[in-house]
C-alpha cells in the first residue's frame, strides 16, 4: 500500500502565507507520511486506547504534524487537567477558556489504565495551564503521576508542565518525591518575541526561573525545554536562547519549525520563514557543544518528539566522563 504525503492539519495560511503576505509554498521537507501496514494497525490500537479511556492527547488538541508517526509507534502524549487552557497564546490551537470545568477526579485512573494497556516504556504527560486553580493544577498532576507509577512502575515518566503562575511553592509541591524522570517546560520562542507570541501571563524570564528552580529542587531529574522558530527571530537570537537555557542547567532541548495551526481564525501568528534542515542541524551541534546532553532539532520536531529516545541519549551522556557528540 502506498504511503500518502500529508500536511497533517496544517492550514492554508501556514502553507501559503508569510507575515508580509507574500505567497510561500510549503517546503518539501515539511511533508509527512501516513502510516501503512503494521504501522496502521498500531495507530488504530493507540487511537482505540485513547478513545476507550476518554482521554485527551496534545497530539490531537494541538494538531501535531507527528501524530501519525508517533501513534503508529504506539506512543502518545496525554494531556491532563482538561482540554481547555486558561491562556490564549498566539501559536497554540488548544481551546481557551478562562473558567474551564474542574479537573476530572477519575482522570488519574483513566490515564494510568491507558499507559498500562499500551505497554509503554516511556510516557509523556502534558497539562493545560490552569490559572483558575490556586495551585495551578499541581495537586491533580501529582495524582495522575502517582496513579501511573502505581499501575506501571517500570514506565519512565516525563512531565511537560506549565509555569504554575511562577509559584515556587506549587512547583515544589508538584516535584517533591514525584517519580519523574524528566521535567519539561517550554520557553516557546526567543525572548524578544515573547509578548507577541505568548499569553501575557507567561514570560521568558518566568519560564527560565521555573526550569532553574526545578533543577535546584530536584537535581536528579532531567530538565528539558523547547523552542519554536519561524516566528520572526534571527539565527543569532536562537543561539542566544540556547545559551540562556544552558545557563539554567537545562539538560535537554528540542527545536522545531512553527506552523500556523489548522483552521486559523485571526489570533494565530503566520509563519515568518521556513527554516532549512541544514540550519536545524547547525543549531543542534551548537547546543551539544554548549553542554546539552541530548538535542532534537528539525523542521517537524516538537517538544515530545521521540521523547523516550532522547531520554535514553541523555542518560547515556550523563554517565560519560568525556561526552562525544558525534
Residue 167: exposure state from Cβ atoms within 10 A (0-12, 13-18, ≥19): middle
Residue 3 to residue 8: CA distance in whole angstroms: 13
Asked whether the predicted pLDDT for residue 35 surpasses 50, the reply is: no
What pLDDT does 265 receive?
Answer: 56
Residue 281 to residue 203: CA distance in whole angstroms: 27
Mean pLDDT across the chain, nearest whole number?
Answer: 82
Tell whether 323 is covered by a domain.
no
Q: What angle do CA 3, 301, 111 make, to 5 degrees?
A: 85
Task: For cell 557528540, name the residue.
Answer: 325
Looking at the chain, the whole-number percentage of residues with pLDDT higher than 70 is 75
195-205, pLDDT tens digit by residue?
Answer: 999 999 999 99
Tell me the residue range of the domain where 85 lies: 5-318
Q: Show the DSSP H helices in the chain as ranges.
A: 12-16, 38-52, 58-61, 67-71, 107-118, 138-151, 168-175, 194-197, 204-217, 235-247, 277-290, 307-318
Residue 248 to residue 213: CA distance in whole angstroms: 9
**Beta 77-80 vs 122-127: how paired, if at all?**
parallel
259-274, pLDDT tens digit by residue?
Answer: 887 654 567 899 999 9
Residue 191: exposure state from Cβ atoms within 10 A (0-12, 13-18, ≥19): middle
What pLDDT does 201 receive?
Answer: 96
51-105, pLDDT tens digit by residue?
Answer: 555 455 444 444 555 444 554 454 567 889 988 999 999 988 788 999 999 999 9
Torsion angle defined by CA atoms of residues 27, 325, 306 and 312, in that order, rounded to the nearest 10 degrees = 180
Radius of gyration (Cα) for the chain, nearest Å? 19
Domain count, the chain: 1
**Beta 156-160 vs 95-96: how paired, if at all?**
unpaired
Asked whether the predicted pLDDT for residue 222 surpasses 50, the reply is: yes
What pLDDT does 283 receive?
Answer: 98
Asked whether 202 and 89 are in contact (CB, 8 A), the reply is yes
Weakest mean pLDDT among 22-36, 159-173, 196-210, 308-322? 22-36
192-199: long-range contacts (C-beta < 8 A, 24 or more apart)? 192/233, 192/237, 193/231, 193/232, 193/233, 196/90, 196/231, 196/232, 196/269, 197/89, 197/90, 197/91, 197/231, 197/269, 198/87, 198/89, 198/90, 198/91, 199/87, 199/88, 199/89, 199/129
Tell whether 208 is covered by a domain.
yes
Residue 186 to residue 193: CA distance in whole angstroms: 14
**Mean pLDDT score, 182-208:** 97
Which residues have C-beta within 8 Å of that of residue 220, sequence separation ≥ 6? none
Tell whether 62 is covered by a domain.
yes
What pLDDT does 266 receive?
Answer: 64
Task: For cell 503521576, name the residue.
Answer: 145
Asked whether the predicted pLDDT for residue 22 surpasses 90, the reply is: no
Tell whether 326 is covered by a domain.
no
CATH number at residue 42: 3.20.20
Tell whether 324 is covered by a domain.
no
Residue 50 to residue 70: CA distance in whole angstroms: 13
Closest CA to 148 of 171, 170, 118, 169: 118
Torsion angle defined by CA atoms of residues 101, 103, 109 and 113, in that order, rounded to the nearest 10 degrees = 70
Looking at the chain, the whole-number percentage of residues with pLDDT higher than 90 is 61
Amino acid at each position: 500500500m502506498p504511503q500518502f504525503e500529508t500536511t497533517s492539519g496544517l492550514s492554508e495560511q501556514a502553507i501559503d502565507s508569510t507575515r508580509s503576505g507574500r505567497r510561500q509554498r510549503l517546503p518539501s521537507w515539511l511533508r509527512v507520511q501516513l502510516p501503512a501496514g503494521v504501522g496502521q494497525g498500531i495507530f488504530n490500537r493507540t487511537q482505540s486506547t485513547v478513545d476507550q479511556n476518554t482521554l485527551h492527547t496534545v497530539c490531537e488538541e494541538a494538531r501535531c504534524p507527528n501524530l501519525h508517526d508517533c501513534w503508529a509507534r504506539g506512543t502518545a502524549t496525554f494531556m491532563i487537567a482538561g482540554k481547555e487552557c486558561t491562556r490564549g497564546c498566539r501559536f497554540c490551537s488548544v481551546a481557551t477558556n478562562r473558567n474551564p470545568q474542574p479537573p476530572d477526579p477519575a482522570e488519574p485512573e483513566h490515564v494510568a489504565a491507558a499507559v498500562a494497556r499500551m505497554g509503554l516504556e516511556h510516557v509523556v504527560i502534558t497539562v493545560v495551564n490552569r490559572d483558575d486553580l490556586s495551585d495551578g493544577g499541581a495537586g491533580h498532576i501529582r495524582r495522575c503521576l502517582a496513579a501511573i507509577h502505581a499501575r506501571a512502575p517500570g514506565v519512565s515518566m516525563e512531565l511537560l508542565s506549565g509555569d504554575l503562575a511562577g509559584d515556587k511553592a506549587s512547583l515544589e509541591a508538584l516535584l517533591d518525591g514525584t517519580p519523574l524522570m524528566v521535567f519539561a517546560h517550554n520557553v516557546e520562542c526567543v525572548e524578544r518575541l515573547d509578548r507577541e507570541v505568548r499569553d501575557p501571563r507567561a514570560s521568558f524570564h518566568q519560564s527560565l526561573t521555573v526550569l532553574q528552580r526545578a533543577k535546584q529542587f530536584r537535581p536528579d531529574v532531567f530538565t528539558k525545554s523547547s523552542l519554536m522558530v519561524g516566528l520572526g527571530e534571527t539565527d543569532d537570537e536562537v543561539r542566544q536562547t540556547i545559551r540562556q537555557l544552558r545557563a539554567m542547567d537545562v539538560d535537554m532541548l528540542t527545536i522545531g519549525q512553527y506552523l500556523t495551526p489548522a483552521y486559523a481564525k485571526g489570533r494565530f501568528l503566520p509563519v515568518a520563514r521556513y527554516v532549512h534542515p541544514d540550519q536545524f542541524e547547525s543549531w543542534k551541534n551548537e547546543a551539544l557543544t554548549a553542554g546539552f546532553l541530548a538535542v532534537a532539532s528539525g523542521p517537524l520536531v516538537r517538544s515530545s518528539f521521540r521523547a523516550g529516545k532522547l531520554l535514553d541519549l541523555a542518560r547515556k551522556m550523563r554517565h560519560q566522563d568525556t561526552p562525544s557528540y558525534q
